[in-house]
Amino acid sequence: MSYEHIEPPESGSKITLADEETGELDVPNDPIIPIIHGDGIGKEVGPAAQKVLTAAAEATGRDVNWMRVYAGETAREMYDENLPDETVEAIREHRVAIKGPLTTPVGAGFRSLNVALRQTLDLYANVRPTYYLDGAPSPMKDPEAMNMVTFRENTEDVYAGIEWEAGTDDVEEVRDFVEQEMGFDETMHDGPIGIGIKPISEKGSKRLVREAIDYAIENDRDKVTLVHKGNIMKFTEGQFGEWGMEVAEEEYPDEEVFAAPDSLWEQEGEVDIPEDAVMVDERLADAMLQWMQLRPDEYDVLAMPNLNGDYLSDAAGAQIGGLGIAPGANFGHGRVLAEPVHGSSPKNAGENKANPTALILSGRLMFEHIGWEDTGTLVRDAVEKTISEGDVTYDIERHREDARKLSTDEYAEAVVENIRELA
């Protein structure tokens, strides 16, 4: 494919699809990987993370050929639009990519550039591993007990919701329909009212839960917990739980996956759970926020609709030191777009002080997905070594008395040095 503003690297090979049915990738040792540095602090953490990830790949005998692509502010400067078609096509063509945070300007035509990329590329699973790094400040007594992976549905629920503004003719038309045609006249308050609907589908729910269960099996995790508010929203969030349990019960052998709905624990006597089977159970979202803090070691993998996943993954990130070190990635069939959990933080842009750890560890997740587990492990170990030794950016330094404050660039160099030492 030829591009208008994108300059492909002079060398490198494309990552291709090895198996159409499973989405398995064929990854060369010198892949071309598109990268969006991002807006705000992305202009600093993007290059910093790129430097670290390049060093880790080289240290494990591999070569990443980065291809700079554009969205947000840099795209407006080049294309006079926020999300150019050729950026989307470049990511689609090369299948594996990484991006920094993006800011969606007012009147951009998108609710969110991040959401637009996920929906356009059908990256239906937002995956966020949450684990403690030695030396990171945390408000928790035992932050190392947290080792959890959240799977958040990425294309529907509030991401595909429709709203009508209070005081408009449209909202009154919807209100009349709900009250008169559907017979729900007692649910609407008097006076101005905003109305919204959100879709949660069988297809979207099942493929997310399937992804979470497969991850648990492949990574020797003990349990997948479906998190929703089905006691109130019975036909959206409640159905998410029901469809998820159907996946566990119908698509996997009992000795591999054991479905354990709440009703199971109401039975008398001991429950016979097959040894080594992944247990799939359910929790209400509000209760889960409590259990994440009180009993984090009892939960492995969480699967949930979009909005619950947003709240819960951020809350999990807070327990291990904050979003500055919280990685993530968006997965679709034969595609991945890695990205940090945090936003673009415009107020800190241009100061060379932002923490690039979240984007670096998102790169680790990307490396693991393409089968470079040793590269990913080296990234994690080097980051942890750097933080534990007290070489940190301002956000961590201010919480530690024994730390040395580094700029974004200096921190990246420190991690690279530790990569070379550990390799």
Domain locations along the chain: 1-131+322-423, 139-153+202-319, 162-197
Could you tell me which residues are annotated as the binding site for NADP(+)?
103, 355, 394, 398
Distances (CA, A) of 419 to 35, 353, 413: 21, 21, 10
- 260/78: higher pLDDT: 78
- 182/342: higher pLDDT: 342
Contact 367, 376 (CB under 8 A): yes
**Range 1-131+322-423 has CATH code 3.40.718.10:** yes
pLDDT category, 191, cuts 50, 70, 90?
A: confident
- 22/111: higher pLDDT: 22
| Average pLDDT rounded to a whole number, residues 373-396 | 97
Could you tell me which residues are annotated as the binding site?
103, 112, 114, 118, 128, 152, 310, 355, 394, 398
pLDDT category, 268, cuts 50, 70, 90?
A: very low
pLDDT category, 181, cuts 50, 70, 90?
A: confident
Domain 139-153+202-319 belongs to what topology?
A: Isopropylmalate Dehydrogenase (3.40.718)
Distances (CA, A) of 150 to 54, 92, 239, 308, 350: 27, 24, 19, 10, 32
- Average pLDDT over all residues of the chain: 93
Give the catalytic positions in this structure. 159, 229, 286, 310
pLDDT category, 182, cuts 50, 70, 90?
A: confident
Q: Is the pLDDT of residue 239 over 50?
A: yes
Could you tell me which residues are annotated as the binding site for Mg(2+)?
310
At 184 the pLDDT is 75
Entry pTM: 0.93
At 127 the pLDDT is 97
pLDDT in tens, 296-355: 999 999 999 999 999 999 999 999 999 889 999 999 999 999 999 999 999 999 999 999
pLDDT category, 365, cuts 50, 70, 90?
A: very high
Tell me whether the CATH fold assigned to 1-131+322-423 matches the one assigned to 139-153+202-319: yes
